Each structure stands twice: as structure tokens, then as C-alpha cells.
Amino acid sequence: MQEINFLHQKKGMPACYAAGANVLAGRSYTHRTNTGGNFCGHMPENPRIALTEPVKQGKGGLPGVITEAMKRCVDYYASPCKIPSLNLANGSNRQQRSERREACLSTLWAILKFTDLVTLKVGVPTPEGGFVNLTVRYLARQTGLPLRRIERALGDLRRAGVVGIHKRCEQRSDGSYKGLAAIKSVNKLFFAIFGLQMRLKFERKRAVKRLKQKQRQHAKASTTKTAAARRNLTARAALDKTGSAIPKQGMYKRNQRRQDDEHSRAFDEEQRRQLQELLYQFKLANPSWTAEQCREAAEKAIEARWR
């Protein structure tokens, strides 16, 4: 053991590390090789600022002010003075490192992709008027970067005032607390940095009109569905009351026709029975009457009775 320590000390390596590497791991220490860029995969001259899923532009895609902000904010990588507060977010007078600028821009792209123009919150609005906030893990999947890098980038964006983050939690039945996805929002001054404040104001007004139209359509559709469900429920209750639960409308119609036919047959049988009784009574009361006279009198009595 002394000989091993001496040999590695002679090479300039710590004795304890050399012993652990050779004796415990069973292999010698190998130096890392850099095939290009930094060891984290970042290449300063060719930064990777992209999302795992490309954003859709034009009709049916992201609003124009969002896509334009995504294009213009890339200038921050080459010129950190474009967003001074983000460049100084780490509390140092030195310029922000290139790999950190790359992570901040990728995170910013993911945030802008899911920014609602009406509220400038990051998430997905629901037709009922609610809002689904996105988790940090989901944003990390959108960028393809490790979760820890996204967390650091979000911290820089929050300290720079570009993004607002408000943590949330809910209390469980046992008294403990469960963390929820934080509310994230984009500062409208971020668009002003790149000269998009007027365009943002214009497109936000259009977004409000689109939202109101969607809410009206959803309310109308919900009212129609509710009314149809209420009618269906009333029909089912009426059928159940008569002892007939029909799950389908076609079966209900067939059964209704069958019930109508049965009721008609029963009505005809009752009329024939009463007609025979009246014929017999008229014949007993008037022995001199013919069969035709008795039937005519009985039919008139039946018509008057069922009128």
C-alpha cells in the first residue's frame, strides 16, 4: 500500500484518491476527454437555443408578437447588454457565462410558447375559464435540458424581472401540504425591451375578443348539452315510472309504437264487448226489432258513450 501511494504521489495525484480508485473501484483513473465544446455539451460558438417540438407559426399557430419576441430575444446571447438585469442576475459584475445564457434563452422560449396573451400567464387556459399552470419539469421536457439547468435559468429570469413566479400549495386532509405548479407570468416590459410594446397591446385586445367569443360558444354548447341531457333524463324517468327503462332512443320509439298498438287493440276489444252487451239488451227490450235495428241502436249508444 505504501508503494502504491508513493507511486501516485510521485505522479502528482492524492494518495487517498489513488488508493480508492485502484483498490475499491478496481480500475485506474481516466481523464475526461472533450470532443467539442464544454463538458456539458455546450458549444459557445454554436449555441443550442431550440425546443424539442418546433412552434407552429401563421394561422392556427402562436400569435405573431410571441414568435417575434422569440426571434429577437436570441440577440441576448451575443449581446448580453440587451437585457442588463438578466446579465447581472447572478450578482456578479462579470458577464453571464455563455452556457447559462443558452439555458436562459431556451427556458424563455418554452415560457413564451405557452404564454396566454390575455393574462400573460404561462400555461393552458380551459374552456370553462380556468387555467392550468405548467410545472418546471414540463418546461424542462420542452427544452430537452436537464431539470437542474432549467431551475437555475428560471431563478435568473425571476431575479431579472423577466418572469414572475408565485409558489402555491394545498393542505391535505392529514394537515400536511402538497406543492402545486407555481404561477408563472411574463413581464410585459420584456416585450418593450425589443420594441414590441405597441404590438403586444394590439394583439392582447384581439386575444380578449377571441376569448370572449370562445366563452360564448362554450356556454351555448354547454346549455344545449345540458338541455338535451335534461330532456333525456325526464324521458327516462317517465319510462321508468311506467315500468319500462329503455336505454336507446330507437328502442324507445319501437316500444312506444308497440304500446300504442296494444292500447288500440284493447280499446277495440272493449268496444266490441260493450257492443255485444247492448245488442243483447236492445233485443230483450224490443223483441220485434231486427238484427240491423238492434246493431244501429247499439252503435249509436257506443258512439255517445265514447265521445
> What are the sequence ranges of the domains in the chain?
1-33, 64-218, 257-306
pLDDT score of 179: 87
Secondary structure element (H or E) that encloses residue 243, with its range: none
Q: Which amino acid is at 141?
A: R
Segment 8-43, tens digit of pLDDT: 344 444 544 444 444 444 566 666 666 555 666 677
Q: Span 248-270, mean pLDDT?
A: 63
Cα–Cα distance measured from residue 44 to residue 287, given in angstroms and rounded to the nearest whole number: 124
Is the pLDDT at 250 greater than 70, yes or no? no
Residues paired with residue 170 on neighbouring β-strands, in sequence order? 178
User: Please, which residues have CB within 8 angstroms of residue 127's CB and are 6 or more apart in sequence?
Assistant: 214, 215, 218
Is the pLDDT at 56 greater than 70, yes or no? yes
Secondary structure element (H or E) that encloses residue 301, with its range: helix 291-306
Residues paired with residue 179 on neighbouring β-strands, in sequence order? 169
Query: Contact, 208 vs 120, CB < 8 A?
Result: no
State the pTM of this model.
0.60
Confidence of residue 85 (pLDDT cuts 50, 70, 90): very high
Query: Contact, 147 vs 136, CB < 8 A?
Result: yes
Cα–Cα distance measured from residue 122 to residue 114, given in angstroms and rounded to the nearest whole number: 5
Confidence of residue 235 (pLDDT cuts 50, 70, 90): low
Instruction: Please tell me which residue, 301 or 136, carries the higher pLDDT value.
Output: 136
Q: How many CB atoms lie within 10 A of CB 47?
A: 19
Query: Contact, 191 vs 197, CB < 8 A?
Result: yes
- Of all residues in the chain, what percent carry a pLDDT higher than 90? 35
Count of positions (residues) in the chain: 307
Query: Contact, 151 vs 135, CB < 8 A?
Result: no
Mean model confidence pLDDT for the chain: 78
Query: Contact, 149 vs 103, CB < 8 A?
Result: yes
Identify the three-state secondary structure at position 159: helix
Helix axes 98-113, 147-159, angle to 10 degrees: 80
